[in-house]
Copies of this chain bind each other. A is one copy, B any other.
Amino acid sequence: MSATLHPPRNSAELIAAHGGRITRTRLAVLEILQSSGHSLSHDDLAARLSAAAVPHDRVTLYRTLDWLVEQGLAHRIKGPDRAWRFNFGGENAAPHAHFHCDRCGHVLCLESVRPDEGFALPEGYRPERTELVFHGTCADCGRQVGRNEAGGS
């Protein structure tokens, strides 16, 4: 949001730039999100924190995620199940579609697909936000399937 010549680069700077205090959980979560290729659920995050031996509390993790989303440092996405997914960024993210892979379960952002196409809604409806989600096989899983089929398993 600020027009500094040196925007914050690392997690600690990012947090501070948003007026938040730098804490163990915020740092770790931000870094995990930044390094993940796809969105992560609360549960995924908790597992990775444990794996990294970062002590944490369920509730604090929920609150940390809420805060990151509030600050525009993370992006909250619906998953195929009842749990939210989170990924890094969102600050400068334009509306985009998502992809739920039926094979690996990952939820991916399709930045290149805009849901704002001109749909003709019935008279009287006033849409303000459009959610577009594809379900199927993602690029990674598609490659694996192709390989297996080619191999003639």
Chain A interface (Cβ within 8 Å of chain B)? 78, 82, 97, 99, 102, 110, 112-113, 115, 117, 119-140, 142-143
Q: Which 4 pairs of residues, A with B, have the shortest CB-CB distance?
A: A124-B139, A127-B134, A128-B136, A127-B136
- A84: min CB distance to chain B, Å: 10
Report the bound CA distance from A122 to B127 in whole Å.
Answer: 26
- A134: min CB distance to chain B, Å: 4
Report the bound CA distance from A130 to B132 in whole Å.
Answer: 7
Contact of A134 among B123, B130, B134 (CB under 8 A): B130
Report the bound CA distance from A119 to B96 in whole Å.
Answer: 12
A129/B119 in contact, CB under 8 A? no
A99/B127 in contact, CB under 8 A? yes
Taking CB atoms, residues of chain B closer than 8 Å to A139 are 122-125
- A92: min CB distance to chain B, Å: 20
Q: Taking CB as reference atom, which chain B residue is nearest A113?
A: B119
25 contacts between A and B (CB under 8 A): A82-B82, A97-B119, A99-B121, A99-B125, A113-B119, A113-B120, A113-B121, A119-B134, A123-B139, A124-B140, A124-B142, A125-B136, A125-B137, A125-B138, A126-B136, A126-B142, A127-B135, A128-B136, A130-B133, A130-B134, A130-B135, A131-B131, A131-B133, A131-B134, A132-B132
